[in-house]
Amino acid sequence: MRRFVFIALAIALVFSAASAHARTEVVKTYCMSLAGFGARDMGQVKTELLLGAKRLAVAELFGEMVSSLSRVTDFTLSQDEVTALGQGYIRLAGDPLYQNGLNFGEVCVTIRAYAEDEDYRKMQPLTLSGKKCVADPDMTAAKLKESAMALAVKDALLRYEPGLEGLNPRRLSRLAHQVKIIRSGFLPETETYCVEFEATVFPVEIASSIHTAPKPNEAVPLIQPLPNSALTASSVYANDFPNYGPQNSRLNEKTTFSNWSAGANDSNQWLQADLSKPAVIYSVATKGRAVSYYQWVKEYRISYSLDGSTWAFVGAGGTPMVFVGNSDQNTEVRHSLPEPITARYVRIHPVSWNEHITLRWELWGAYEKD
């Protein structure tokens, strides 16, 4: 049955009430020993001194907020990580004053630090709201509600901060705290299910997550470095794994008798890569059989999964996308995905081929940063 999705999104950002903070200026002095540093390390010394002084300023200007954030259920940052991010919100009045300390080999810096209202707001909770409507005749009402809720939260977060694009979906969902459904149900006389929600988010937590989301320009080959055991297939020609097995399917593999060759020429064949952990995938490339016979895959589909059990095809509206493959043995044909996917397991499904299903492939993407 054809699957379709109808989407309606409404998003509102409401800052929680917060009293304006009068500009409070604090003076902080931080000292450290020069032991282990040489004359050429003075730039590094100044950097560490300034960071230390800013940490002291964070403790005084944002201390209560940092402490309260550490008590938030399922908060993804430690108190030290919040403090480190808070250093970026510290403003300086005038230049830092560097001087010798009271002890031998000790140097110090004194800063006059302050924060503005916008800096305090970054440490405060924010109410995020959104709405999503989904229609899919193949889903139960419970599944529709679950799907609409997940999509509503994702879209609201990405609308608030587009830099979160590419973050692992599970980590993205954890940025929404105290999620509350305002209303949900089917639109009258339709199969369209809508969910409207509110949730609490923390700008400082979101700012940290942006730095862990991989970007397209950080994409690297994902299949090439995998162990042979991570590459599997639906079947292998003549059950001859040394010559035709999936371990021979790396894009630039030319040293074997053949590359991966399927045991049958039908639409049930697939080649799979287990990336060992979720990665954001941006593009795919294929080649045909490197030597001997004129064999290649002319068209294919891509499916993906986070757990190896629940799979989805790359496509739109539930319709799998058919990628154009090769027209000869050794020309690389590369495609960017319509939008990045996050997956641990990826399969390529041949749709049409020349002579026999044989191919080499590569995925480009990036693992989420720790």
Mean pLDDT in consecutive groups of 10 residues from the start of the chain, 370 residues = 38 42 83 77 83 91 84 77 82 93 92 90 90 87 88 91 78 89 92 94 84 67 96 97 96 88 96 93 94 95 90 80 93 88 94 97 84
Domain range list for the chain: 10-15+125-213, 26-121, 218-367
pLDDT at 244: 96
The H-or-E segment that residue 117 falls in is: helix 117-121
pLDDT for the residue numbered 140: 87
pLDDT of the residue at 13: 42
- Which CATH number, 3.30.830.10, 2.60.120.260, 3.90.226.10, 2.40.30.10, labels domain 218-367? 2.60.120.260
**Structure tokens that stand for 346 in this block:** 């990826």
Q: What is the DSSP string of 25-65?
A: -EEEEEEEE-TT--GGGHHHHHHHHHHHHHHHHHHHHSHHH
Using a CB cutoff of 8 Å and minimum separation of 24, what contacts does 135-144 make? 135/4, 135/5, 135/6, 135/190, 135/191, 135/192, 135/193, 136/3, 136/4, 136/5, 136/191, 136/318, 137/1, 137/3, 137/191, 138/1, 138/3, 141/186, 141/193, 144/193
The rounded distance, in Å, linking the Cα atoms of 298 and 324 is 6
